[in-house]
Amino acid sequence: MHDETRIVHSGREPERFDGVVNPPVLHASTILARNLAEWEERKRRRAQDLPGTYYGMLGTATTRSLEQALAELEGAHRAVVYPSGLAACVVPILAFVAAGDHVLVTDSVYGPTRRFCEHTLARLGVETTFYDPLAAGAIEALMRPATRVVFVESPGSLTFEVQDVPAIAAAARRHGATVIMDNTWATPLHFRPLAHGVDVSVQAVTKYVGGHSDLILGAAAATEAAWPRLRSATYELGQCAGPDDVYLAQRGLRTMHVRLARQWETGVGLAQWLARRPEVERVLHPGLPGDPGHALWKRDFTGGCGLFGVALKPVAPRALEAFFDGLRLFGIGASWGGYESLIMPVDLAGLRSATRWPLAGPLVRVHAGLEAPEDLRADLEAAFERMRAAGA
Ligand SMILES: *Cc1c(COP(=O)(O)O)cnc(C)c1O
């Protein structure tokens, strides 16, 4: 079956719910048993991790619908949802470490994941080494006997370096470390982590699965070997996503492939146009043939999303302000993956320790939405005009 077909049909069971197409939103804490035998049977099935509904905190048919669909899409044994994308990044790390252990984390990791390693993991006696995202198999030199987790994110947050995930995963495997990947950018539609040697694939469902800027949710999908530890850490840490957000996410999932294809195309078009602008030093987009990550991206990915970076040539602060202020279509805001275009200045301060960002000018992150590409380009063209006028 093709992904487009799978995404439409997986995880839905209309026959269970009077033929209703979408799974219902079940608000639940208590799940009643009809009699003692059913109570005991549920207890037995829960202990064996068999499908079913046991207690609201462990999810209901609403939750299972999304988890089932995501597990199928990822080619995973099982998937589990989290109340945020960040929770989906950090709980899997916690699942595989103990005091005295060591983890390797890409220097281009999502900022809040970095801070979790620097603060919480450090406090628990787990040491983090941040590594060059371009290190590929050379991370082997950083592996220690206590290295339990190798965390990858490709392309990297804010700077979009493409990692050699198969080479990193092979090195990790030789040392018995678990590989966790933040795959939010490509989504399982355009990069399949588990097929490239990753043990746990995580994504911020907030972004493209949600797709409408109205929910916060995360998910992790695991191999059969990684699942038991992931499952127990998830439940022991009380991770439970609300049914309304889960419902919205499963609804968003059904159209994700169409939105992604369009946003990818618009993003590539804008990136190509920006690369020719005199104000631009470099565009950070693995889909462009000139990008340093292009060859790896072409080898491993089947596409991507509408998010990329733009390094501008140095400008005066008031010229940059003129660029942003007056934008009519691009919203200035964090997060991405919704249907609307966004733009944001990027500050790498405190976010890189193993590598040094080489460019001096301001860095900007662009998210292409579903608007007409010509209108978006006109909005940016006017911004460059204001910037030029203010800088003169
Ligand atoms: C947004 C994001 C997250 C966190 O998702 P939230 O739902 O906002 O917590 C994690 N990783 C990446 C790469 C992200 O862009």
The CATH code of the domain that includes 261 is 3.90.1150.10
Binning pLDDT at 50, 70 and 90, where does residue 386 land? Answer: very high
Same domain, 269 and 351: yes
Does 223 lie in the same domain as 316? no
Mark whether 309 and 170 lie in a shared domain: no
Distance, in Å, from the CA atom of 160 to the CA atom of 108, rounded to the nearest integer, reads: 8
Distance (Å) from CA 140 to ligand 1 centroid: 27
Residue position matching structure tokens 């198999």: 137
The two structure tokens encoding residue 21? 């197409």
Structure confidence at residue 391 as a pLDDT band (50, 70, 90): confident
**The total number of structural domains that make up the chain:** 2
38 shares a domain with 137: yes
Query: Are 282 and 164 members of one domain?
Result: no
Domain end among 252, 280, 299 = 252
What confidence category does residue 18 fall into, taking pLDDT thresholds of 50, 70 and 90?
Answer: very high
Please give the residue range of the domain that contains residue 39. Answer: 3-252
Shortest-distance atom of ligand 1 to CA 89: 10
**What confidence score (pLDDT) does residue 3 get?**
92
| Per-residue tokens: 44 | 């037995």
344 Cβ below 6 A of ligand 1: no
Distance CA 284, CA 281 (A): 10
143 and 13 assigned to the same domain: yes
CB of 338 closer than 6 angstroms to any ligand 1 atom: no
Provide the pLDDT for residue 51: 83
CATH number, residue 53: 3.40.640.10
Residue 157 Cβ inside 6 Å of ligand 1? The answer reads yes
In whole angstroms, give the CA distance from residue 93 to residue 181. 10
Residue 363 near residue 309 (C-beta atoms within 8 A): yes
The answer to whether residues 179 and 261 belong to one domain is: no
Cβ of 89 below 6 Å from ligand 1: yes
Q: pLDDT averaged over the chain? A: 97
Does residue 52 register a pLDDT over 90? Answer: no
Last residue of a domain, one of 252, 278, 305: 252
Q: Are 269 and 129 contained in the same domain?
A: no
Closest residue to atom 5 of ligand 1, CA basis: 85
CB neighbourhood size of 107 (10 A): 22
Residues 25 and 84 reside in one and the same domain: yes
| pLDDT tens per residue across span 69-105 | 999 999 999 999 999 999 999 999 999 999 999 999 9
Residue 392, pLDDT above cutoff 90: no
Give the strand pairing for 342-346 and 218-222.
Answer: unpaired
Q: Which amino acid is at 99?
A: A
Q: Is the pLDDT of residue 351 over 80?
A: yes
Quickly list H helices, the chain.
3-9, 36-47, 61-74, 85-95, 111-116, 122-123, 165-174, 187-190, 227-236, 243-253, 256-275, 294-300, 317-324, 373-391
Ligand 1: which atom is nearest the Cα of residue 206?
7
- The helix (run of H) or strand (run of E) holding residue 149 is strand 147-153
Nearest protein CA to atom 6 of ligand 1, as residue = 85
Instruction: Tell me the three state secondary structure of residue 155.
Output: coil
Is 204 a pocket residue for ligand 1 (Cβ < 6 Å)?
A: yes
In the predicted model, what is the mean pLDDT of residues 45-70? 94
Beta strands 218-222; 280-284: pairing state: unpaired
Question: Do residues 207 and 273 both lie within one domain?
Answer: no
Residues 231 and 265 in one domain: no
In order, the DSSP letters of 322-371 are HHHTT-SSSEE-S---SSS-EEEEE--TTS-SSS-----S-EEEEE--SS
Shared-domain flag, residues 269 and 143 = no
The C-alpha angle 122, 123, 124, rounded to 5 degrees, equals: 90
Which ligand 1 atom is at minimum distance from the Cα of 205?
A: 7
What tens digit of pLDDT does each residue of 353-382 get? 999 999 999 999 999 999 999 999 999 999
Query: Between the CA of residue 113 and those of 3, 93, 107, 209, what are the distances in Å?
Result: 29, 10, 11, 20
Say if ligand 1 is within 6 A of residue 267 CB: no
Which pLDDT score is estimated for 341? 98
Query: 187-227, pLDDT tens digit by residue?
Result: 999 999 999 999 999 999 999 999 999 999 999 999 999 99
Last residue of a domain, one of 252, 271, 294: 252
